[in-house]
Amino acid sequence: MWSTRACESSAKSGRDSEMTPLERVRDSADRLLDSDVYYSFRSSRVTVVAAAITAVLFLAALFAPWITPQNPFDPGSLNLLDAFTPPVWADGGSWKFILGTDDQGRDLYSAILYGSRVSLFVGFASVTFAMILGVGLGLLAGYMGGAVDSIIMRVADVQISFPAILIALLINGVLRGILPREQFNDVAVFVLVLSIGLASWVQFARTVRGSTMVEKNKEYVQAARVIGRHPVSIMVRHVLPNVMGPVLVIGTIGLAVAILTEATLSFLGVGVPSTQPSLGTLINIGQNFLFSGEWWIVIFPGATLALLVLAVNLLGDWLRDALNPKLR
């Protein structure tokens, strides 16, 4: 099915060039609205809600500086005397801090949006990184076979026998040891991306390798090989588009996992610095006050994280079903 679609689109490419950009957009939008993927999306109410929640959280995080009263990453904007203000509806709450403040006087609403930014950035960047690495290695292993395949997949096997969080902790710890301390806070986010990305490429590689081994024996690949295309070109131009379906599914679910991993690392205190809290850091701060009645410091960031991960997971689940012809 995928191969047919690939042929169709290349056949159409002649007509595409004659269309104005606007027409092209309209055309692809029409095709999207007409597709069975969109139909299955529309008919699943849970998925629509999940998509809406994800979109709202994404946009809120994206536009955080314009829709929050405070920049919680700027220590100069915090006032310690505002600390422990409860949410607006509780006794002692104020409209200035709708969801209350934490122990340093950070407005929780602002902190959550800014924290989501960090969480989402780390999530997206690390999944992209893992995807590029995993898909690349998977393609190589599946297409080349033999010794290359063995080496790559044995490394993957070894890595998958450890929990991803341990690998991330290990890489994070090693990088912390190597990098000079004074600059560490500046690059902490990228260290997170690197450690989470390196910890989660295996799923991508395994999936792509399997699909590639199926695809490489099909006629269109053999035809390409016969006419003398370079192996890299065959892998990227012919095989890759046909193995991307499952990768998208893993990528979406991987995003949820990456966000959680980032939160876990930050919760453990090895993530972003505490002056630039992500959702995990906020939960870590808040758990200190679980026994003392300041519940809002941990509940709101926790609920946001749960909502975000749940919504992304539901989207991933739906995508898996929608792209799998056997389940339809």
Partner 1 sequence: MRFKTLAVALAVTLVLGVSAQAKELRFAFQGDANSMDPYNLNETFTLGFLGNIYEALTRRTADLTIEPALATSWEVIEPTRWRFHLRRGVKFHDGRDFTADDVLFSFERVKSETSDLKTRVKTVKEVIKIDDYTVDFITTVPDPILIAEWDTWYIMSKGWAEENGAVTPQSATGDDENFATRNANGTGPFRLVSREADVRTVAEVNPDWWDNANKEHNLTKITFTPIGSDPTRVAALLSGQVDMAYPVPVQDMKRVDSNAETSVLVGPELRTIFIGMDQFRDELLYSDVKGKNPFKDVRVRKALYQAIDIEAIKEKVMRGLSTPSAMMIGAGVHGFDPAIERFPFDPEASKALLAEAGYPNGFRVGLDCPNDRYVNDEAICQAVVSMMAKVGVTLDLNAQTKGLFFGKVLRPSLDYSMYLLGWTPGSFDSHNVIYGLHGCPDDSGKGQFNLGGYCNVEVDALADKILSETDVKVRDGMITEAWAKTIAEVSYLPLHQQALAWGVRSNVSVKQRADNQFAWRHVVIQ
Binding residues vs partner 1 (CB under 8 A): 74-76, 78-81, 83-84, 103-105, 181-182, 184-185, 269, 273-275, 287-294
In 3D, which of 85, 66, 118, 51 has the Cα closest to residue 282? 118
Q: Where are the alpha helices (DSSP H) in 179-234?
A: 181-199, 201-215, 219-226, 231-233
Q: How many whole angstroms separate alpha carbon 204 and alpha carbon 42?
A: 28
CB of 273 to partner 1, least distance (A): 7
Our CB check for partner 1 shows the closer of 84 and 204 to be: 84
131 closest CA partner among 192, 187, 191, 196: 196
Q: Nearest Cα to 139, choosing from 205, 230, 214?
A: 205
Determine contact, residues 171/194, Cβ cutoff 8 Å.
Answer: yes
- Shortest CB 173 distance to partner 1, Å: 12
Residue 63 DSSP code: T
Residue 258 beta carbon to partner 1: minimum distance, rounded to whole angstroms? 25
Residue with tokens 């991508």: 204
Q: How far is the CB of 286 from partner 1 (least distance, A)?
A: 10
Which C-beta is closer to partner 1: that of 159 or that of 275?
275
CA distances from 227 to 41, 86, 137, 212, 237 (A): 41, 71, 25, 20, 14
SS3 content of the chain, % helix, strand, coil (to 5): 75, 0, 25
**Minimum distance of partner 1 from residue 269's CB (angstroms):** 8
Cβ proximity to partner 1, 35 vs 185, nearer residue = 185
Quote the least distance from Cβ 64 to partner 1, whole Å: 19
Give me the least distance between CB of 60 and partner 1, in Å please. Answer: 25
Nearer to partner 1, 34 or 182 (CB): 182
- Nearer Cβ to partner 1 (181/328): 181
Q: Which residues contact 46 (CB under 8 A, 6 or more apart)?
A: 314, 318
One-letter amino acid at 174 equals V
Which single residue is written with the structure tokens 């450690």? 195
182 versus 219: smaller Cβ distance to partner 1: 182
Question: What single string gives the DSSP state of each residue in 117-175?
Answer: HHHHHHHHHHHHHHHHHHHHHHHHHHHH-HHHHHHHHHHHHHHHTS-HHHHHHHHHHHH
Q: Which is nearer to partner 1, 71 or 159 (CB)?
A: 71
∠ at Cα 10 (9, 11), nearest 5°? Answer: 90
Minimum distance from residue 274 beta carbon to partner 1 (Å): 6
* C-beta of 82 vs 262, nearer to partner 1: 82
